[in-house]
Structure 1
Amino acid sequence: MEQVRQARNVALFIFEQVEPLDFAGPFEVFISGSNRGQDFNVYTVAEMEGPIQALGGLSINPAYTIHNCPDPDILVIPGGWGSRKEMNNETITSWVRDVSNDVEILLSVCTGALILAKAYVLDGLKVTTNRLAMKELREIIPASTEIIEDIRYVDNGKIVLSAGISAGMDAALYVVERLLGEERAIQTANIMEYDWKKA
């Protein structure tokens, strides 16, 4: 009898002044690609309990905190103006560093790359971010890390980084493709009526 695989836990980290589409885009990709929840269990995580104010005043209630969330198989770190503050939040960068040891995939969107850089998980990798934040990223990465410009996303195996905002949806679709096959990724994009731009 074929063994049914447990749904992968997909955690989307949110914080004050997060860019809404940076997390909501991948959130939609993973729920649309989940085969009605059978393949992905998708949820939001914040540092603490209570509503998060995203850019534009959007209020979001995280499902969990970093202290009580299910162990993620996939962790998504979005960007937004708030990433500049959170990249210096030792509680967050330590959590990202610890969780990165056990996840199957760590995906950053836009300036979420700044948080990954400060979590010291980018050594020797190829990275990208929002084109307007390349200089900021260049200032904090190790000399062994290579910035790739003019690309939608870059895959280092466990760690995948994407450029700005909508590129996070493209990267999330790529992750769906990597894990569940091209047919599922195309089906997911079609469900969303989204024009998937591959790297």
Structure 2
Amino acid sequence: MSQPTLHIGLLLFPGLTQLDLTGPAEVFARLPGTCLHLIWKTLDPVASDRGLSILPDTTFQDCPRLDVICIPGGPGQIDLMDDATTLDFIRRISADCRLVTSVCTGSLVLGAAGLLDGYRATCHWSSLDQLALLGALPVEQRVVRDRNRISGAGVTSGIDFALSVVAELAGEDSAQAIQLQMEYDPQPPFTAGSPRSAPPALLERVRVQSASFIERRRQATLRAAQRLSLASDLTS
């Protein structure tokens, strides 16, 4: 059997949004010659924010060199912003990656690791502005590419994001074939999937409901920004 030619790693962590990871994983797994790695500190099951458990298959210590690293998002991302072990791993593994990528609020984790300073990036709409606190340039777009950084917006954009990554790695024909295999032809029943299309009253209600959580996330982002600033001062 021929050896895989591409190694793509996806970070697992408690409280991630599983679709941020499983959407891209479904796309990447269909690319011939690809080996997927689900990475966490241990090999114990990792529970997502909605209770679905996912098994890692490698640890930070044993993870091989990767061509692509992908950081998903989800409520557990808040704790990662203060997790030095995870941020150190992301910095280390990213140094040799062809592409450094994220989905949803995973871009905030990349930012906390100091990997988005001066890069255009996107995020879930509710926290897009927080990217600027970490030196990134927020872009309100489904998928954003800046040099070797590729980021996807909220949750469902992970499939669009992954198809864009496949197109970069293997060409548009490969990406289109995977899209067809998956019958990825979205026709949502409502035009309420983004702040640009949602009814104003609905958007305001969702903002109010999530306000306290978004503030918790902002505080974690501010702490990360302070650490980045301190590190910059120490090396200057």
Which residue among 5, 28, 31 is the counterpart of 2:29? 31
How far residue 106 of structure 1 moved from its aligned partner, in angstroms, is 1.1
Q: What residue in structure 2 maps to residue 124 of structure 1? A: 118
1:104-129 CA-partner distances (Å, limit 9, x unpaired):
11110000011101100111110110
Map residues 61-140 of structure 1 onto 2, 5 A cutoff: 61-138=55-132, 140=133
Do structure 1's residue 187 and structure 2's residue 180 form an aligned pair? no
Between the aligned residues of both structures, percent identity stands at: 33
Give the SS at the match of 2:129. Answer: helix
**Following the alignment from structure 1 to structure 2, what is the Cα–Cα distance between the partners of residues 6 and 60?**
23
1:47-75 CA-partner distances (Å, limit 9, x unpaired):
22311010111111100111112221111
Do structure 1's residue 7 and structure 2's residue 5 form an aligned pair? yes
**Following the alignment from structure 1 to structure 2, what is the Cα–Cα distance between the partners of residues 24 and 69?**
19
Larger CA Rg, structure 1 vs 2: 2
Q: What residue in structure 2 maps to residue 60 of structure 1? A: 54
How many residues align structurally?
Answer: 186
Q: TM-score if structure 2 supplies the norm length?
A: 0.75
**Following the alignment from structure 1 to structure 2, what is the Cα–Cα distance between the partners of residues 88 and 109?**
19
**Following the alignment from structure 2 to structure 1, what is the Cα–Cα distance between the partners of residues 150 and 10?**
14
Measured on the aligned residues, the alpha-carbon RMSD in Å equals 1.7
Do structure 1's residue 48 and structure 2's residue 46 form an aligned pair? no
CA contact (8 A) 2:129 2:138 kept: no
How far residue 5 of structure 1 moved from its aligned partner, in angstroms, is 8.3
* More contact order relative to length (CA 8 Å, sep ≥ 6): 1
Give the SS at the match of 2:21. Answer: helix
**Following the alignment from structure 2 to structure 1, what is the Cα–Cα distance between the partners of residues 28 and 106?**
18
CA contact (8 A) 1:127 1:154 kept: yes
Would you tell me which structure has more helix in proportion to its own residues? 2
- Unmatched runs of 5 consecutive residues or more in structure 2: 187-236
1:145-192 CA-partner distances (Å, limit 9, x unpaired):
31111x111111211111001111111100101111111100001111
**Following the alignment from structure 2 to structure 1, what is the Cα–Cα distance between the partners of residues 101 and 185?**
20
Q: TM-score if structure 1 supplies the norm length?
A: 0.88
- Unmatched runs of 5 consecutive residues or more in structure 1: none
Give the SS at the match of 1:10. Answer: strand
**Following the alignment from structure 1 to structure 2, what is the Cα–Cα distance between the partners of residues 152 and 165?**
10
Q: What residue in structure 2 maps to residue 146 of structure 1? A: 137
**Following the alignment from structure 1 to structure 2, what is the Cα–Cα distance between the partners of residues 60 and 179?**
26
CA contact (8 A) 1:84 1:114 kept: no
**Following the alignment from structure 1 to structure 2, what is the Cα–Cα distance between the partners of residues 10 and 65?**
14
Give 4+ residue runs of structure 1 displaced > 6 Å after superposition.
Answer: none
How far residue 194 of structure 1 moved from its aligned partner, in angstroms, is 0.7
How far residue 195 of structure 1 moved from its aligned partner, in angstroms, is 2.6
CA contact (8 A) 1:76 1:108 kept: yes
CA contact (8 A) 2:166 2:175 kept: yes
